[in-house]
Amino acid sequence: MNINEIEEDSTPLRDELERHIRKLVQPLKEENELKDILKVKLTKKEFKILNTWAKELDLEALKEKLSLDEERYSELSMKLIKKLNQEKLKQVISI
């Protein structure tokens, strides 16, 4: 497997979604489609949090950039996970 194949198979956003969705019946769409759908369905802050989790970036830097304290970050994280587990959203992001 060469480096191009590894990059193509890299699906951090899809992997992160699978981690947080409790009951996933259908497989998820491709990475680019997921990004487009989630940009519309989530708030900007929620999308940035999800993206930070997926890419395993520095959470503290994100909190500072978005001016979030620990309490607000926790609220947004819980709302994000609830949204990801809504049936309507699961249907849209599934194949």
Tens digit of pLDDT for each residue in 45-74?
999 999 999 999 999 999 999 999 999 999
Cα 12 to its chain centre, rounded Å, is 9
In a domain, residue 4? The reply is no
Rounded to two decimals, the pTM is 0.82
In a domain, residue 36? The reply is yes
* Containing structural domain, residue 88: 13-93
CA distance 30 to 52: 19
Residues β-bridged to residue 28? 94
Give the count of domains, the chain.
Answer: 1
Percent over 90 (pLDDT), the chain? 63
In a domain, residue 78? The reply is yes
In a domain, residue 3? The reply is no
In a domain, residue 5? The reply is no
In a domain, residue 1? The reply is no
